Amino acid sequence: MERASDARAGPKHEVFIIDSAQVPHGEDDSIEREILQDCARVQLLRLNSEEEFAPYYHRADAIILWHHIQLTGVIMGKLTRTRLIVRNGVGYDNVDIAAAGAAGIAVANIPDYGTEEVADHALTLTLTPLRHIKPLMSDVARGNWEWRVVAGCRRIRGLTLGVVGCGRIGTATCLRAKAFGFTVWFYDPYLPPGYEKAIGTQRASSLERLLADSDVVSIHVPLNEETRHMIGPRELARMKKSAYLVNTARGPVVSFEALLEALSQDRIAGAGLDVLEDEPNGAEVLQRLPNCVVTPHSAFYSQESLIEMRSKSATLVRDALVDGRYGNIVNQPSALSEGRRKPQVDLSFEVS
């Protein structure tokens, strides 16, 4: 554990921000402190595992959690004061939401903070391999100046981009892709009929159809039991040999071994990846492939998006502690134990 900010006398509530000691995100807790200063003491902890949170189990009224630390069912029953866990981000696969719900703890996420950034990044990872940017840059770095390195590059207008999962980010990606001239399809069984008309795209009746017909497949689904290894050997085999796979969602949605084999054997044309199944493991071998572009789980980031995410997380905590209002809830918390107020929540949420 790296540090905890000095606790201050005054507010009765305690809020802990849990970040990774190995892959830290927030530099400090100034944004959260400003929003919560009159209702809670805020402490930033940088930990290696959830076990290191043990000294604070019985003190936390709310937790703001970054991505790399897991909160499993092992500790949920020990969080006797905790009303709310806010995942700083869209995905919440590092929280056992069922165990939290059984313990009466609401779990929330921030589904809309980085919509623009991730959609922009998805298009960047689409255009980079399509325009052969990586081999062109490598050739220039070797001292050459030869445009023919781009031989085989195809015109983007008229290619088909297939979006898997058309929530907020998937929709934003569809709209951006249309501006570049792609013919855009999406597959999402959770959206109502007619959504394709609202955004001016086509809708695939199955994932298999989308994979077979797309020149680029862009993944925009949450990680859960339904989507883990959604893209494996069989799915990759359905794609065109000339097609590209883009993933800015969650690494385990795509089987690493299956993708590496498909790329190495030229079964698909290439990939643009911001996430890996066991990141950062595997990045080095993928980066050596000329048909693969890898970025370090950075699609979410801009200066503005980070401030927005942290502000919204702290505001969710404040609303819960001060007013008993719980927003963006992704689980179904049972009746809370003594000392907690039962959340008044809207349990509907969008798959994105």
Of the candidates 41, 67, 87, 250, the residue annotated as catalytic is 250
Q: What are 126's two structure tokens?
A: 């689409």
Of the candidates 41, 297, 310, 340, the residue annotated as catalytic is 297
Strand pairing category for 13-20 and 106-108: unpaired
Residue 250 designated active-site: yes
What is the residue-wise DSSP string for 60-88?
Answer: -SEEEE-SSS-B-HHHHTT-TT--EEEES
**Cβ atoms of 319 and 343 closer than 8 Å:** no
- The Cβ of residue 303 has, within 10 Å, a number of other Cβ atoms equal to 7
Q: Report CA torsion sign: 122, 125, 128, 129.
A: negative
* Burial state string for 264-302 with b = 16 or more CB within 10 A and e = fewer than 16: eeebbbbbbbbbbbebeebbeebeeeebbbbbebebbbe
Which DSSP state fits 319? I
Of the candidates 176, 279, 318, 340, the residue annotated as catalytic is 279
In which residue are the tokens 């609202």 written? 198
Distance CA 107, CA 332 (A): 8
Residue 279 designated active-site: yes
* Burial state string for 78-107 with b = 16 or more CB within 10 A and e = fewer than 16: ebebbbbbbbbbbbbbbbbbebbbbbbbbb
Q: Is the peptide bond before 280 cis (omega within 30 degrees of 0)?
A: yes
In which residue are the tokens 């995410």 written? 309
**Cβ atoms of 90 and 66 closer than 8 Å:** no
**Cβ atoms of 130 and 109 closer than 8 Å:** no
Residue 297 designated active-site: yes
Distance CA 260, CA 288 (A): 11
Which residues are designated catalytic? 250, 279, 297
